[in-house]
Chains A and B, each alone.
Chain A
């Protein structure tokens, strides 16, 4: 537990996300909330980890932390803490802010008392996301101040400072990161954590009830706050002009991780430039930017994704009426797509400065290399559910899906995912398909997704009697993002006992009349359940209950129980290949002679393949070593 047990002034290696948590601890954060999502997850997981660690040592964690039901709830819980004078932090992935945005947009009108830092972790290149939206627009859209760190050290400092700015402005503040910061490690020098408050107190005020009349009073206040924020931005230590060599005409404007690539490239290419490094990017320090423009004849704007700084600099040039030339996305030197890297930045700079690119064309392997796409784990209960559903209705069914491990069911040989927008969309789109077509529909969502946003569309299906089958894959965890708890688990994010919400009881409460609760490891019974659900006219819900096998095996390990692996009886095997080419557990492989085997090291011992094999050729082999 270096992150809390190291001495102040010590320097330790931290992940960008851990540095944000540490920054919040140094600021004496009282309440932290989240809904998990890559690349933000480790910020909250670190809060969770520390709380459990301290509780085990019978120490009281210095803060309250929760994995909330979804991002909107997370924001609301923390906002109320802030109204009560406490310091709070909410973290989420970029698309999480879409979910929280209804609360967020009006929150800016209302403002805060205790500092509230909202971390939005963007994911350029969609490493683990359904889109690469640029959430810097949310700062402009809502009028929220925003900070963008470049390194773990800066992430920690900015988080600390963000609480102060938030309190000075009485406004929530965005800390916007990208994957390459969240998942980068660097040396971080620690400071002494402030002592958190124990409890806040909510002072009533008519300004906290945003009726139209109050909103009309608050909107001008929001604009005034932004004027004040601009003054902070002008003086911020996070905005600076760096001179490299003997700069004359050229300037470079950069923010976020793009700055890192620029800083090194400028050295490597021996350029003489001024760099305007922007850390507080909303509102921009206009005076500072104008001064910078007055020093340059040409500027290059280097920012990942949207031309947000570039457009603002164009507007500034127009305001001043100067003739500074701008190079960036509009001149085609940089792309609006995907994350940048040193190659991209060096290539663009060498082109603009008409230099020889020092990077030779990278070697590419001549041998063709097999891919390693992510797959459902061996023994994953989702595979069994998919296999059973597919058997129930082999042709023509449409499978709207959702976001989680089970999205991997899109791959061959299962191919059980046809439509996906966002979390919760499976059931909403299922309803739409039932209205628009005569096709049969079976949709799938995980349990964490069910609680997050899957319930309202089920209510829609019941109220309008849509003829759909909606499946909840209840594996008792939020697996995809790192096995976080959710409202259906027995322990909360601080490791304390929590009331476990039962999926089928909620579904029943929504008025669903046909509910099937199945164990997917009994494949035949599960198939029968799907058949009955399909026959039912109107909405039917199948709750498929079996824990994620990784968690189950971890628990077995802790209890000292054995895990049994399976093998194929070569005498009985007739090479029908169903286990490989229809079921597709990744533990199966072909030997050189074409015979089929199970890899001991990979088999997780679910035993489902025994039911899949029509010739009874698969059986228990022994304990996994």
Chain B
């Protein structure tokens, strides 16, 4: 097993980035793997860009050095590129393909780059995995399970120091009984999107 695993999670406030990071942390505790999670609260949450770090194994703190991410899990295309500084050529960048347009763009102050160019640029730095998490989540039954879809995809890239089952068990333990089926569908959907 690798000595350290660094995962960066990014997205926009309200997309469940912090919840996803929290679930990874809980799964690590369940698997008896040492873990630290770093979150953002406060100002960054009012519609802002959100990033969390999950570090596992022989680590002593929650922040990762540049270029050391094993994976960047992004709920939004440009947010994965924003944190590209954490990547190296082996980093697996798993991103949802649906843009969330910032209001600075909608009111014409700034421009959102063409998504294809965003993906092209990511490929220059790291390994790109595109997931239509929005669609998979909708098909599973609830758009808010998008973060769970992404966790399924992450599990399929084999960077985690614990099994897929531990992650799914942790997810199900943290949702009300009536949502277990939807979340299982979302997770498996995300998993299959990577491991066909």
List the interface of chain A (C-beta within 8 A of B).
Answer: 11-13, 15, 38-39, 41-42, 127-128, 150-151, 180, 183-187, 257, 259-261, 263-264, 267, 341-343, 346, 359-360, 362-377, 405, 408, 412, 480-482, 580-581, 584, 586, 588-590, 599
**Could you tell me if A365 and B36 are in contact, using CB atoms closer than 8 angstroms?**
no
Instruction: Please list 14 pairs of residues, one from A and one from B, whose beta carbons are closer than 8 Å in the complex, sorted by A's number.
Output: A13-B29, A15-B39, A38-B42, A180-B38, A184-B37, A184-B38, A184-B39, A185-B39, A186-B25, A257-B61, A366-B121, A372-B49, A377-B47, A405-B46
A369: B residues at CB distance < 8 A: 78, 81-82, 113
Instruction: Choose, from B83-91, B144-152, B153-161, B182-190, the stretch at the interface.
Output: B83-91
**Could you tell me if B39 and A260 are in contact, using CB atoms closer than 8 angstroms?**
no
A183 touching B40 in the complex, CB below 8 Å, given contacts A11-B29, A372-B49, A377-B47: yes
4 nearest CB pairs, A to B: A260-B61, A589-B106, A362-B85, A128-B42
**Could you tell me if A586 and B106 are in contact, using CB atoms closer than 8 angstroms?**
yes
Q: How far is the CA of A577 from the CA of B86 in the complex (A)?
A: 40
**Could you tell me if B87 and A374 are in contact, using CB atoms closer than 8 angstroms?**
no
Within 8 A of A (CB), among B72-107: 78, 81-82, 84-88, 101-107
Q: How far is the CA of A127 from the CA of B46 in the complex (A)?
A: 13
A12 touching B65 in the complex, CB below 8 Å, given contacts A370-B78, A370-B111: no
20 further contact pairs, Cβ within 8 A, besides A128-B41, A360-B66: A13-B22, A39-B41, A128-B44, A180-B63, A184-B36, A185-B22, A185-B38, A260-B62, A342-B65, A343-B66, A362-B86, A367-B121, A370-B104, A370-B110, A371-B102, A372-B48, A372-B102, A373-B48, A412-B109, A590-B108
**Could you tell me if B35 and A187 are in contact, using CB atoms closer than 8 angstroms?**
yes
A365 touching B46 in the complex, CB below 8 Å, given contacts A185-B22, A342-B65, A371-B102: no
Tell whether B163 is near chain A: CB-to-CB under 8 Å. Answer: no
A586: B residues at CB distance < 8 A: 47, 103, 106
**Could you tell me if A374 and B48 are in contact, using CB atoms closer than 8 angstroms?**
yes
Q: How far is the CA of A581 from the CA of B112 in the complex (A)?
A: 19
**Could you tell me if B41 and A38 are in contact, using CB atoms closer than 8 angstroms?**
yes
A580 touching B63 in the complex, CB below 8 Å, given contacts A127-B42, A185-B25, A369-B78: no
Q: Closest CB of chain B to A300's CB: distance in Å?
A: 17
**Could you tell me if A367 and B65 are in contact, using CB atoms closer than 8 angstroms?**
no
**B27 (CB) vs chain A CBs: closest residue:** A13
Tell whether B165 is near chain A: CB-to-CB under 8 Å. Answer: no
Q: How far is the CA of A371 from the CA of B26 in the complex (A)?
A: 31
Within 8 A of A (CB), among B101-139: 101-113, 117-118, 121, 125
A359 touching B67 in the complex, CB below 8 Å, given contacts A185-B25, A367-B118, A374-B47: yes
Q: Closest CB of chain B to A58's CB: distance in Å?
A: 22
Tell whether B142 is near chain A: CB-to-CB under 8 Å. Answer: no
**Could you tell me if A264 and B43 are in contact, using CB atoms closer than 8 angstroms?**
no
Tell whether B59 is near chain A: CB-to-CB under 8 Å. Answer: yes
A38: B residues at CB distance < 8 A: 41-43
**Could you tell me if B38 and A183 are in contact, using CB atoms closer than 8 angstroms?**
yes
Q: Closest CB of chain A to B101's CB: distance in Å?
A: 7
**A405 (CB) vs chain B CBs: closest residue:** B46
Chain A binding surface, main DSSP class: loop
**Could you tell me if B106 and A13 are in contact, using CB atoms closer than 8 angstroms?**
no
A589 touching B39 in the complex, CB below 8 Å, given contacts A372-B47, A372-B102: no
Q: How far is the CA of A260 from the CA of B43 in the complex (A)?
A: 25
- B40, B64, B87, B104: the one contacting A342 at CB < 8 Å is B64
**A12 (CB) vs chain B CBs: closest residue:** B29
Q: Closest CB of chain B to A113's CB: distance in Å?
A: 35
**B114 (CB) vs chain A CBs: closest residue:** A367
- A13, A42, A257, A363: the one contacting B125 at CB < 8 Å is A363
B66: A residues at CB distance < 8 A: 343, 359-360, 362
Q: Closest CB of chain B to A355's CB: distance in Å?
A: 15
Q: Closest CB of chain A to B104's CB: distance in Å?
A: 5
A367 touching B47 in the complex, CB below 8 Å, given contacts A15-B39, A184-B62, A589-B101: no
Tell whether B9 is near chain A: CB-to-CB under 8 Å. Answer: no
Within 8 A of A (CB), among B13-42: 21-22, 25-26, 28-29, 34-42
- Quick one: which of A341, A371, A581 has the most chain B CB within 10 A? A371
**B82 (CB) vs chain A CBs: closest residue:** A369
**Could you tell me if A264 and B60 are in contact, using CB atoms closer than 8 angstroms?**
yes
**Could you tell me if B42 and A367 are in contact, using CB atoms closer than 8 angstroms?**
no
**Could you tell me if A187 and B29 are in contact, using CB atoms closer than 8 angstroms?**
yes
A374 touching B39 in the complex, CB below 8 Å, given contacts A12-B29, A13-B25: no
**B50 (CB) vs chain A CBs: closest residue:** A372
A185: B residues at CB distance < 8 A: 21-22, 25, 35-39, 62
A343: B residues at CB distance < 8 A: 65-66
Q: How far is the CA of A371 from the CA of B63 in the complex (A)?
A: 23
Q: Closest CB of chain B to A76's CB: distance in Å?
A: 27
**B108 (CB) vs chain A CBs: closest residue:** A590
Q: How far is the CA of A584 from the CA of B63 in the complex (A)?
A: 36
A260: B residues at CB distance < 8 A: 60-63
Tell whether B12 is near chain A: CB-to-CB under 8 Å. Answer: yes
B109: A residues at CB distance < 8 A: 412
**Could you tell me if B59 and A127 are in contact, using CB atoms closer than 8 angstroms?**
no
A365: B residues at CB distance < 8 A: 81-82, 84, 121
Q: How far is the CA of A580 from the CA of B85 in the complex (A)?
A: 34
Q: How far is the CA of A151 from the CA of B84 in the complex (A)?
A: 27
**B122 (CB) vs chain A CBs: closest residue:** A365
**Could you tell me if B12 and A372 are in contact, using CB atoms closer than 8 angstroms?**
yes
Q: How far is the CA of A395 from the CA of B117 in the complex (A)?
A: 44
Q: How far is the CA of A480 from the CA of B39 in the complex (A)?
A: 17
**Could you tell me if B41 and A364 are in contact, using CB atoms closer than 8 angstroms?**
no
- B21, B34, B44: the one contacting A187 at CB < 8 Å is B34
Q: How far is the CA of A13 from the CA of B31 in the complex (A)?
A: 12
Q: How far is the CA of A367 from the CA of B102 in the complex (A)?
A: 16
- A39, A267, A581: the one contacting B107 at CB < 8 Å is A581
**Could you tell me if A363 and B87 are in contact, using CB atoms closer than 8 angstroms?**
yes
**Could you tell me if A360 and B12 are in contact, using CB atoms closer than 8 angstroms?**
no
**Could you tell me if A367 and B113 are in contact, using CB atoms closer than 8 angstroms?**
yes
Q: How far is the CA of A412 from the CA of B121 in the complex (A)?
A: 31
A363: B residues at CB distance < 8 A: 67, 84-85, 87, 125
Q: How far is the CA of A372 from the CA of B101 in the complex (A)?
A: 9
